[in-house]
Every structure is written in C-alpha cells, then in structure tokens.
Amino acid sequence: MSERFDTLAQHFRENGHKLTQPRQAILHALLVAPKPLSPAEIQEQGQVFYADLGLVTVYRTLELMEEMGVVRTVHLADGCHGYALATPGHTHHVVCERCHAVVEIFGCELGEFLQSVAERTGYQITGHWLEIAGICANCQQMEK
C-alpha cells in the first residue's frame, strides 16, 4: 500500500473511526482516480477492491471524510442549481455567506494568471469561473 494510503488510514484512526474494508476500498478508488469522481463512480471503482461495496456506504464515508478534511468537493459544470440573468460581458460574483446577496464584479483581472496556467499545464484554456464568498457590509453590521 502506498505511503499516501497509510497517512489517510491514520487520519481515520486518529479521529476514532474504524478502517473497514469498504472504507479502504473507497480510499483506494480515490487514490488511483485521475479526476474527481461522483459517488456512483466511487462505488464502481471501489468494487474492484471490495466487491460488496454499497452506494450508501460511499455517501456516508464521503460525508465523514469531508468532515475530516480528507476529501474536497469539486464543483462540476452540471448539477449546480442557481440562475441569474446573464450580464453582457464577463463578470464574477461575490456572494454573501449570510444573506446570499450577490454583487457582480465587472472586469476580470485574471488574464495574466490564466496565461501562466496554460503554460504550466499544457491545457488550452477555454473558460473559467470564479466565485468569491464574503460577508456583505450589511451583515457585517448585524454581527456587532
């Protein structure tokens, strides 16, 4: 087993969780994955290591791992649900964590950064998508 695996396994034990076969399978699946996986994909891949792995267990384990900071959620292009009128041109959003008020940021200072990303990764960049979380002026007042 990889060194990475052992570190993750220890994480479980430190937090007082048992390292069962289903959980090991899920860890393995995520370790060898070249991309973010959906729960269903994790089950599928995980069954290579533990044939009886159930989808429910995948959900519960992911929840656990998220709490422990072992997995991160990656937002994919589909399945996210909020709609706002499009504004001409390229904009970004700042969303208030408290009241969900949204401010649009016009102008995008990311060009240079993206250029360097393209060079570093060999990817041809086709788009990007930034969202900023914060607390709006109003809600900052409230907290006092």
Looking at the Cβ atoms of 63 and 110, the one nearer to DNA is 63
Asked if 71 is part of the footprint of DNA (rule: CB under 7 A), the reply reads no
**What is the per-residue binding string for DNA in 83-122, x denoting contact by CB under 7 A?**
----------------------------------------
Find the shortest distance in angstroms from Cβ 15 to its own copies.
Answer: 14
The secondary structure of residue 53, as a DSSP letter, is -
Find the shortest distance in angstroms from Cβ 70 to DNA.
Answer: 13
What is residue 24's three-state secondary structure?
helix
Find the shortest distance in angstroms from Cβ 18 to its own copies.
Answer: 20
- Could you tell me which of 62, 24, 61, 67 has the C-alpha nearest to residue 46? 24
The secondary structure of residue 35, as a DSSP letter, is S
CA dist., res. 128 & res. 110, Å (int): 9
Query: Helices 55-68 & 21-32, crossing angle to 10 degrees?
Result: 70
Determine the Cα angle at 101 with ends 100 and 107, to 5°: 120
Let me know if 135 is exposed, middle or buried by CB neighbors in 10 A (0-12, 13-18, 19+).
middle
Interface residue with DNA among 19, 68, 94, 96 (CB under 7 A) is: 19
| Residues in touch with DNA (CB under 7 A) | 13, 17-23, 38-40, 50, 52-57, 59-61, 63, 81
| Residues in touch with its own copies (CB under 8 A) | 8, 30-31, 33-39, 42, 62, 69-77, 79-87, 93-97, 99-103, 105, 109-110, 113-114, 116-118, 120-137, 140
